[in-house]
Amino acid sequence: MARECADEMIPESQPAGEPRLPPHAGFWMPDPSELDSEEGIGFFRDVWTIIDVPRSDAELVIQRERELLRAIDSLATTAVDFDRLARFVEDWDPDEVADEVSSAERSVLTSAIGDADSAEL
């Protein structure tokens, strides 16, 4: 569900479940033969079980994503625009000119992304 109003277009919903892993959850390390250097595990790229992350690191990721979402939100006038701009940020390549964004949109988003090699949400 997306909240649509003039000043904010960030999708929102209430996730089901608990925000922690169940005590009986199993953890494993995949066998090296299961890993593909380009694709990760299966068809998923850059995947790993995220545990024991310092709170300060998690807060920096959240702050970074919030800044990127605000930049996208400032440009989007519809849910379709929001998704288009979020895809541009997610697929960020500073050396590629994307036809799906205007030069003004690219300027705002490039500024929000900054010097980062990646802007993954």
Digit-coded pLDDT (tens) for 19-66:
777 777 777 666 767 665 566 665 566 666 566 789 898 888 888 889
Digit-coded pLDDT (tens) for 61-120:
888 889 999 999 999 999 889 999 998 888 888 777 778 889 899 889 988 888 766 666
- The residue whose two tokens read 């490039």 is 110
In this structure, what are the phi and psi dihedrals at residue 35, rounded to the nearest 5 degrees?
A: -95, 135
Three-class secondary structure of residue 5 per DSSP? strand
Helix (H) or strand (E) holding 107: helix 103-113
Please state the pTM of the whole predicted model: 0.58
- 86 neighbors 16 (Cβ within 8 angstroms): no
Q: Which residues pair with 35 in a beta bridge?
A: 41
Burial of 86 (0-12, 13-18, 19+ CB in 10 A): buried
pLDDT at 71: 93
Report H helices in the chain: 55-75, 79-90, 103-113
Which sign, positive or negative, has the C-alpha torsion 111, 112, 114, 117?
Answer: negative
pLDDT at 1: 45
Mean pLDDT of 10-16: 67
Mean pLDDT of 1-17: 59
State the average pLDDT for the chain: 76
